Structure formats: C-alpha cells, structure tokens
Amino acid sequence: MTTALITGSTAGIGAAFARRLAADGHNLVLVARDTKRLREQATELHDRHGIEAEVLTADLATEDGIGAVEERLGRRRDGVDLLVNNAGFGNKGRYLEVPLADELTMLKVHCEAVLRLTSAATDAMRERGRGGVVNVASVAAFVPRGTYGASKAWVVQFTQGAARDLAGSGVRLMALCPGFVRTEFHERAGMGTDNIPNWMWLDADKLVATALADLARGKSLSVPDPRYKALMGVVKMTPRALLGGVTSRTGRKYGPQ
C-alpha cells in the first residue's frame, strides 16, 4: 500500500486530496498546524476507509515545522510515494499595505517550504525509482498581482523545471493551478468573495480528481477546468500592462487552498 503526505490537509483542497486518496486505498501522513483537527480527520478517514492515517503537526512558516516534514519525507523505510504541497494562505491588501513580515512568511511557506519538501521527497523517490509530487499553485501565477501571484509563479516554474530534470527517473512532478475554490481560504485571509461570479467557483473534489488524472498522464502543469483553461488562453493574449490594471482593480483575492 502506498503512502501520501499532504500539507494543509485539514481544509479545502488539502482535505479533498485526503478524502480521495484515502478512498483509493492510500495510507496518509496528514500535515497541518491544528493537532485537534488533524486527529479528528485521521480518525474519520481511518474509520471510513480502513487506511492508516499518521498525524504530523507542523507550521511550515517555521524552521522546525519545515524540518519535521523534511525528516518524514526523507525516511527510506516507510517512505512517502506521493507528496501534495498544498499549505498556503493569502494576505489581504495591496503591495505596501501588507506588513513586510507577512509577505516574507508567505514566501517561506509558498516557496522555501515547497522547495525543501519537494527536494526531500524526490531524493528518496528517485532512489526507489517511483513517486510523485503535486505542488499546488494557482491561476494567479499567470497574472501580475503582488506577492501571492509571484510566489505561485515561482511554484509553477520550479515544478516544471524540476520535472524536466527528473524525466526518466520514475518521479513525476506537477504544478496544480486551480482558480477559485469554495474553501476556508478567503475567510481566513479576511477577503470578501461577493464580487466573484458563480461560474468561477470550482468544486474541490472534482478538481482533485482531475489533478490526479493529469499527474497519472505525466503532465507537469494542470489547470483543472475548461473554464479556466479558456480564461488562461485569454490571459496569454492580453498585454501585461492592461492585465495588471484589471487585476489591480479586482484586488488580491486569488487563492485556491
């Protein structure tokens, strides 16, 4: 039986990955900051699907938190076969309205943690000749909009570059770029969602099903919905100056987790 480790597993896309992978018979390592919620989630998934669910409390904004997950991913005996780097958050406000400390914390979680955890996981996976990594980015990676979009653009570029470097090793890497998903993400960041049209909202469970299918097909980039694929096509053809003006008016409300 294979094992999947999911960061930010207790809510949103992370919880959807946990539900789907448990239903498919994978053992899980559930990573988040809230021990109580982790234990409740682990018990529910074990009781419902008969899988083993390990709890790992870790704050990926801290050195100790990243180090603890690195250690778990680096184990050679009870190794991890699939890593889902999903942990993330948004900051409310435009550039210079958000405290610099909060921006730096975002970079630690979205970039440093993703780099270090991906490296720990793929090093062990390459030895075994198999494994997969899903790094959750966002469609915000493709528009010029503040630190959130910039950090997610880094995730996309890093993941696709690493996927090329590991081609033929048996290890697959994929950047997942959802749009708006109905989760706790915006509420935790204090962001309103009233101005987001209904058609832009995605279902987390359907999103995960598409993402896992794309990973199995060997894709290094997944935009898991026809509506957003079409929207990203328009974005590619829109002048950057114009696109920047549009995203500035809509505010910093991108964020899938």
Tokens 């958050």 sit at which residue? 89
Find the length of the chain: 257
Residues 6+ apart with CB under 8 A from 247: 143, 144, 145, 149
Rounded to an integer, what distance in angstroms lies between the CA atom of residue 57 and that of residue 32?
A: 5
Query: Residue 257 corresponds to which tokens in the numbers above?
Result: 């987790």
Catalytic site residue from 95, 148, 228, 254: 148
148 catalytic? Reply is yes
Cα dihedral: 212, 222, 131, 136 (round 10): -100
Rounded to an integer, what distance in angstroms lies between the CA atom of residue 72 and that of residue 150?
A: 28
User: Do residues 71 and 92 lie in contact, with contact meaning Cβ atoms separated by under 8 Å?
Assistant: no
Instruction: Please list the active-site residues.
Output: 148
